């Protein structure tokens, strides 16, 4: 699905992912009507899911975003737009220039945008064809073929608006080398890095999993020793299960299957756009370049009554959803608006990196997943570093170029960036400003014999991970460090069912019911 080319503020789908600037108009359109069942601020994936699900449940929805593009913190941007967004994510005009006045029955409280990104560091120079790149804010991330996201795309009809390519291979960094993870019995026995005992253990483990997945074992399978996984093992954490099976560390770190992982064409920013299209088909109204300046609170009940736009216009709704970069100072809120049961915070950081190079990490492969297990880079490494290389066949870079995303969770920003830099040094030929090689060996001292791709451009940054909910004023989750969307979908569904306990979160329906032509003028609200 390509972003449509309309550009007016109320068009559902203006050109988004290739936006070259982060700017806002000085004049804003008037929104009519002024009352909705649901107001959603921010077009990230969770907000777009809630908008589409509410619209499918026949709710009237107003969906706003201060940016000129869709996706918010889940968007795919050009290199220059990415740098601009990371450095100015908290500079949106969210504090209204208009005086906020109380009425007899309600009061308004300013919203502010908390800084989400920090420690932004770039090196190298943009390629001349930098306009052909789309860089994911959520990367590295994939979707499993048998996954709740795939089911959701199908049930909602959003699958009509996005296409996917498969990941070619998975690599694991082990003992200073990149090892191709075997994905079949034949590949296991062709692998020269595994001992005979390790090959036997891995084959036995895979047969156990295969036997468990099968509905009923055949007589032949029983004779061959293919067993089911005991119920008590299914309740254990997966790492404990692997430990119980006494698998060696290298095999415990393996995770791969060709075709099991897929990636959306044009980047992950296409996913929120796909759900926004579904919402628009069901009647949701979209307005980009529209900052929200304040929330409107009922003086008597403390419940949310709506929002005040940067234009000064009041829009009313009993239910408001915000992306998690919005923040309402607790000191400004009346005590009865804060629902102690929903007012929960979780905070940590995710260090991320995006690299651009001209050759593949794995020769003759395009889209490659790389895993750096804990302590694989150096003994003090506490978390896994995940890496995803992408090529022109997913339409996020020009021919002859590759985009590589990296991420790792961290509590300390400096340490998280050190892990990312260590992985970059292990994967790429990194040079200084004079073109001299900085390092050609892995951080643990083992020399990598293979020719490494030269690093052309890189950006490293740290993202805050935080979520909060306030009764009728809900906050959506930020992109986490996971490879998939499992936890984001679970949190989003929980928010929706909290708001609308009587409605299904995307009930099963025919995909054709939600199909829509790609002409935005035919679906404009």
Question: Using one digit for the tens of pLDDT, what is the confidence trace for 361-420?
Answer: 988 888 999 999 999 998 889 999 999 999 999 999 999 999 999 999 999 999 999 999
Q: Give pLDDT < 70 ranges for the chain.
A: 1-26, 89-102, 129-130, 182-193, 210, 212-228, 236, 238-240, 242, 245-259, 328-347, 432-450, 467-472, 509-525
Return the pLDDT at 471. Answer: 64
Instruction: Match 């920003």 to its residue by tokens.
Output: 413
Return the pLDDT at 466. Answer: 75
Return the pLDDT at 433. Answer: 56
Return the pLDDT at 88. Answer: 79
Return the pLDDT at 32. Answer: 92
3-state secondary structure string across 344-394: CCEEEEEEEEEEEECCCCCCCCCCEEEEECCCCCCCCCCCCEEEEEECHHH
Return the pLDDT at 300. Answer: 79
pTM of the model as a whole: 0.79
Q: What three-state secondary structure class fits 170? A: strand
Could you tell me the domains of the chain? 38-116+267-346+467-517 (3.50.50.60), 164-168+260-264+348-462 (3.30.519.10), 182-252 (no CATH)
Give the burial class of 103: count Cβ atoms within 10 A of its Cβ; 0-12 exposed, 13-18 middle, 19 or more buried: exposed
Q: Which residues contact 183 (CB under 8 A, 6 or more apart)?
A: 170, 256, 257, 258
Query: Alpha helix locations (H) across 38-111?
Result: 45-56, 79-88
Return the pLDDT at 9. Answer: 40
Q: How far apart are the first and last CA of the chain?
A: 20
């Amino acid at each position: 699905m390509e972003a449509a080319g309309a550009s007016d503020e109320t068009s559902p789908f203006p050109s988004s992912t290739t936006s070259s600037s982060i700017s806002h108009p000085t004049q804003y359109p008037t929104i009519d009507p002024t009352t909705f069942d649901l107001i959603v601020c921010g077009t990230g994936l969770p907000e777009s899911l809630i908008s589409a699900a509410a619209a499918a449940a026949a709710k009237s929805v107003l969906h706003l975003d201060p940016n000129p593009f869709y996706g918010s913190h889940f968007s795919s941007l050009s290199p220059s737009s990415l740098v601009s967004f990371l450095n100015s994510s908290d500079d949106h005009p969210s504090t209204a220039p208009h005086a906020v006045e109380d009425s007899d029955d309600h009061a308004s409280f300013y919203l502010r945008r908390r800084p989400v990104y920090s420690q932004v560091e770039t090196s190298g120079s943009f390629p001349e064809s930098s306009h052909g790149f789309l860089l994911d804010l959520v990367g590295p991330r994939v979707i499993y073929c048998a996954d709740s996201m795939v089911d959701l795309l199908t049930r909602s009809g959003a699958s009509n608006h996005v296409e996917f390519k498969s990941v070619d291979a998975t690599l694991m960094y082990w003992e200073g080398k990149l090892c191709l993870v075997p994905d079949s019995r034949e590949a296991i026995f062709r692998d020269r890095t595994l001992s005979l005992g390790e090959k036997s253990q891995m084959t036995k483990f895979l047969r156990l999993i295969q036997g468990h997945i099968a509905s009923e074992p055949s007589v032949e399978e029983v004779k061959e020793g293919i067993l089911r996984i005991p119920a008590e093992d299914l309740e254990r954490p997966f790492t404990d299960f692997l430990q119980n099976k006494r698998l060696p560390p290298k095999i415990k770190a393996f995770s791969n299957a060709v075709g099991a992982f897929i990636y959306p064409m044009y980047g992950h920013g296409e996913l929120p756009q796909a759900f926004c299209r579904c919402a628009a088909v069901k009647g949701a109204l979209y307005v980009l370049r529209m900052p929200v300046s304040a929330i409107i609170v009922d003086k008597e009940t403390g419940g949310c009554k709506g929002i005040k736009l940067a234009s000064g216009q009041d829009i009313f709704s009993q239910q408001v959803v915000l992306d998690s970069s919005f923040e309402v100072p607790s000191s400004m809120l009346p005590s009865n608006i804060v629902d102690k049961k929903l007012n929960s915070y979780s905070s940590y950081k995710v260090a991320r990196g995006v690299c651009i190079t001209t050759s593949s990490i794995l020769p003759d492969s395009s889209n490659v997943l790389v895993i750096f297990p804990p302590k694989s880079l150096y003994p003090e490494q506490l978390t896994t570093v995940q890496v995803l290389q992408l090529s022109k066949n997913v339409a996020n870079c020009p021919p002859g170029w590759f985009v590589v995303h990296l991420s790792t969770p961290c509590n300390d920003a400096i340490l998280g960036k050190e892990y990312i830099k260590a992985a970059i040094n292990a994967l790429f030929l990194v040079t200084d400003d004079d073109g001299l090689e900085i390092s050609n060996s892995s951080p643990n001292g083992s020399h990598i014999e293979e020719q490494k791709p030269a690093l052309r451009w890189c950006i490293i940054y740290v993202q805050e991970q935080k979520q909060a909910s306030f009764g009728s004023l809900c906050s959506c989750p930020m992109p986490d460090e996971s490879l998939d969307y499992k936890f984001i979908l679970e949190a989003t569904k929980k928010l929706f069912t909290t708001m609308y306990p009587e409605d299904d979160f995307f009930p099963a329906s025919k995909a054709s019911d939600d199909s829509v032509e790609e002409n935005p003028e035919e679906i404009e609200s």
